């Protein structure tokens, strides 16, 4: 059973609000990822981290930001939410030297 958790599972929020999506894993994985998935579409990497104080932008441009102050925690923040940010956000982690990725349950974000 994967020990990676995302909160909240569902979020409906008004335009202009600041939001933080939480992702935590208890497996001690150095590598963590955020993916964005629009309905019926493939996942796209928006941020990744290879360890504490390491963050990089992914393949898909995103207005969100991330931080990695602790190994187990990789929050994603939107400073000012817009309807175009409506999507599902999936967090994942993996271990150095192993390819298997563990995914969180996802956060389905709706900005109205």
Partner 1 sequence: KNEVEQSPQNLTAQEGEFITINCSYSVGISALHWLQQHPGGGIVSLFMLSSGKKKHGRLIATINIQEKHSSLHITASHPRDSAVYICAVETSGSRLTFGEGTQLTVNP
Footprint on this chain of partner 1 (rule: CB under 8 A) = 31, 33, 37, 41-45, 48, 59, 88, 90, 92, 94, 99-106, 108
Instruction: Find where tokens 């409906």 sit.
Output: 12
Quote the least distance from Cβ 26 to partner 1, whole Å. 17
Q: 112: Cβ–Cβ under 8 A, 6 or more apart, which residues?
A: 12, 13, 14, 15, 83
Closer by beta carbon to partner 1, 80 or else 110: 110
Quote the least distance from Cβ 16 to partner 1, whole Å. 25
Q: 83: Cβ–Cβ under 8 A, 6 or more apart, which residues?
A: 15, 111, 112
Closer by beta carbon to partner 1, 79 or else 99: 99
């Amino acid at each position: 059973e994967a020990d990676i958790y995302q909160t909240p599972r569902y979020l409906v929020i008004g335009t202009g609000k600041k939001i933080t999506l939480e992702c935590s894993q208890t497996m001690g994985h150095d590598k963590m990822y955020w993916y964005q998935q629009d309905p019926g579409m493939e996942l796209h990497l928006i941020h990744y981290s290879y360890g504490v104080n390491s963050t990089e932008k992914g393949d898909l441009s995103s207005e969100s930001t991330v931080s990695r102050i602790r190994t187990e925690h990789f929050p994603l923040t939107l400073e000012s939410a817009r309807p175009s940010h409506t999507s599902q956000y999936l967090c994942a982690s993996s271990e150095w030297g192993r390819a298997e990725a563990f995914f969180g349950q996802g956060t389905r974000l709706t900005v109205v």
